[in-house]
Amino acid sequence: MFFLAQRTRLAVAVFLAFTAPGIPPSHAADSARFVQDRIAIGLWVPPQTSENLEQRYQEIADAHFTVVIGTAGTNAAGQLALCHKVGLKALVDGSPAPAALPESPACWGYLLTDEPSASAFPALAERARAIRQARPGRLAYVNLYPNYASTAQLGTPTYEEHVSQFMRVFQPDVLSMDHYPLMRPDRDSRDAYCDNLEVFRRHALEAKVPFWNYFYSMPFNDRLDPTEAQIRWQIFTSLAYGAKGVLYFCYWTPGKGNGGTGEFPKGGALLTAEGLKTRHYDEARRINAEIKALGPTLMNLTSTAIFRLNTAPTEGEPQVDHPVRRVTRVGADPHSEFIVGCFRHADGRRAALIVNHSYAHTAWPTVEFASPATAVKEVDKHTGREVAAIDDSPELPGLQLSFGPGDARLFLLP
Condensed to tens digits (0 to 9), the pLDDT of residues 66-124 reads 999 998 889 999 999 999 999 999 999 999 999 999 999 999 999 999 999 999 999 99
| Cis, bond preceding 194 (omega within 30 deg of 0) | no
Q: Quick check: 291 pLDDT over 80?
A: yes
Query: Mean of the pLDDT values across residues 174-202?
Result: 98
Query: Mean of the pLDDT values across residues 151-167?
Result: 98
Model pLDDT, residue 4: 43
CA 350 to chain centre: 22
Q: Quick check: 54 pLDDT over 90?
A: yes
Q: Does residue 27 or residue 112 have the better pLDDT?
A: 112
Query: Mean of the pLDDT values across residues 35-47?
Result: 97
Query: Mean of the pLDDT values across residues 20-46?
Result: 73
Cβ contact 330:393 at 8 Å:
yes
Q: Where are the alpha helices (DSSP H) in 156-221?
A: 159-169, 190-207
Q: Which residues of 48-73 are buried (b: 16+ CB within 10 A; e: fewer)?
A: bbeeebeebbbbbbebbbbbbbbbbb
Please, which pLDDT band fits residue 368 given cuts at 50, 70 and 90? very high
Model pLDDT, residue 316: 53
Q: Quick check: 13 pLDDT over 60?
A: no
Model pLDDT, residue 278: 97
DSSP 395: T
Q: Quick check: 245 pLDDT over 60?
A: yes
Please, which pLDDT band fits residue 10 given cuts at 50, 70 and 90? very low
Which residue type, as a one-letter code, is found at position 46?
Answer: P
What percentage of residues in the chain have a pLDDT greater than 70? 89
Model pLDDT, residue 321: 82
Model pLDDT, residue 312: 85
What is the DSSP pairing of strand 377-379 with strand 386-388?
antiparallel
Q: Quick check: 258 pLDDT over 50?
A: no
Q: Quick check: 295 pLDDT over 90?
A: yes
Which residues 6+ apart lie within 8 Å of 180 measured at CB?
2, 146, 214, 215, 216, 223, 249
Domains and CATH numbers, the chain: 12-299 (3.20.20.80), 302-413 (2.60.40.1180)
| Per-residue model confidence as pLDDT tens digits over 205-221 | 999 999 999 999 999 99
What's the predicted TM-score (pTM) here? 0.92
Please, which pLDDT band fits residue 267 given cuts at 50, 70 and 90? confident
What percentage of residues in the chain have a pLDDT greater than 90? 85
Please, which pLDDT band fits residue 21 given cuts at 50, 70 and 90? very low
Structural element, H or E, at residue 379: strand 377-379
Model pLDDT, residue 31: 79
Model pLDDT, residue 285: 98
CA distance 268 to 411: 34
> Looking at 5-9, 234-238, 287-291, 370-374, which range is the least confident one?
5-9
Model pLDDT, residue 266: 86
> Looking at 24-33, 188-197, 391-400, which range is the least confident one?
24-33
Model pLDDT, residue 236: 98
Model pLDDT, residue 30: 66
Which residues 6+ apart lie within 8 Å of 134 measured at CB?
98, 99, 101
Task: Give me the chain's average pLDDT, please.
Answer: 91
Q: Does residue 214 or residue 8 have the better pLDDT?
A: 214
Q: Quick check: 372 pLDDT over 50?
A: yes
